Amino acid sequence: MPQVTIDDADIRILGIMQEDATLSIANIAAKANMSNNTCWRRIKRMEEAGVISRRVTLLDASKLGLDMTVFVSVRASEHSEEWLQKLTDVVRDIPEVVEFYRMSGDVDYLLKLRVESIGAYDAVYRRLIRSVRLTDVSSAFSMEEIKCTTALPLKRTPPK
């Protein structure tokens, strides 16, 4: 898929929407210093191009009792497509797993979990090892969240 070219006006819109996607088109347009119609057309173009993939509500995990962030490093003994699909299916069905990555280096996969307790983590751990054969599972518990953002760094895409 080719990279979409965005200009400074698009960057302004995206920056505003990353901060507050609940704003009306009129409010976004005013903050971006453009007409409502121009703003709406630009947002539509970026949605159709997949630059804006969705609009969501961000929740405060600690207010929902999900105070623990756990990073789980997984080493696999098998690396077949079938095994990876099984792991992917299992992980997608575990709501406590909020991020899942295939890695380079010593660790094959990295999972980020949000749980309410050690017991809740242990239940996820047991579900994981019961479902898929793994060589090693190592967990690290976050002591403090220093920076966490969903906002992407925005810079203008040079024209081709």
Residue 124's nearest CA partner among 65, 76, 72, 63 is: 72
Asked if residue 110 belongs to a domain, the reply is yes
Q: What are phi and psi of 39, to 5 degrees?
A: -60, -45
Q: Which pLDDT score, from 0 to 100, does residue 63 have?
A: 96
Q: What are phi and psi of 78, to 5 degrees?
A: -130, 150
CATH code of residue 23: 1.10.10.10
- If you average pLDDT over every residue of the chain, what do you get? 94
User: What is the block-wise mean pLDDT of the chain (160 residues), using blocks of 10 residues?
Assistant: 83 96 96 97 96 94 96 93 96 98 96 98 96 95 95 75
Asked if residue 158 belongs to a domain, the reply is no
pLDDT tens for each residue of 102-115: 999 999 999 999 99
Which helix or strand (DSSP H or E) is residue 45 part of? helix 36-48
pTM for this one?
0.86
Asked if residue 155 belongs to a domain, the reply is no
Whole-angstrom Cα distance, residue 39 to residue 28?
7
Task: Answer yes or no: do 37 and 85 share one domain.
Answer: no
Whole-angstrom Cα distance, residue 94 to residue 122?
13
Task: Answer yes or no: do 69 and 20 share one domain.
Answer: no
Range of the domain at 19: 8-48
Calculated CA dihedral for residues 9, 25, 34, 55, nearest 10 degrees: 0
68-75, strands of its sheet edge to edge = 97-102, 109-115, 68-75, 136-141
Asked if residue 159 belongs to a domain, the reply is no
Q: Which pLDDT score, from 0 to 100, does residue 3 have?
A: 74
Q: Which pLDDT score, from 0 to 100, does residue 159 have?
A: 55
Q: Which pLDDT score, from 0 to 100, does residue 155 have?
A: 84
Q: How many domains does the chain have?
A: 2
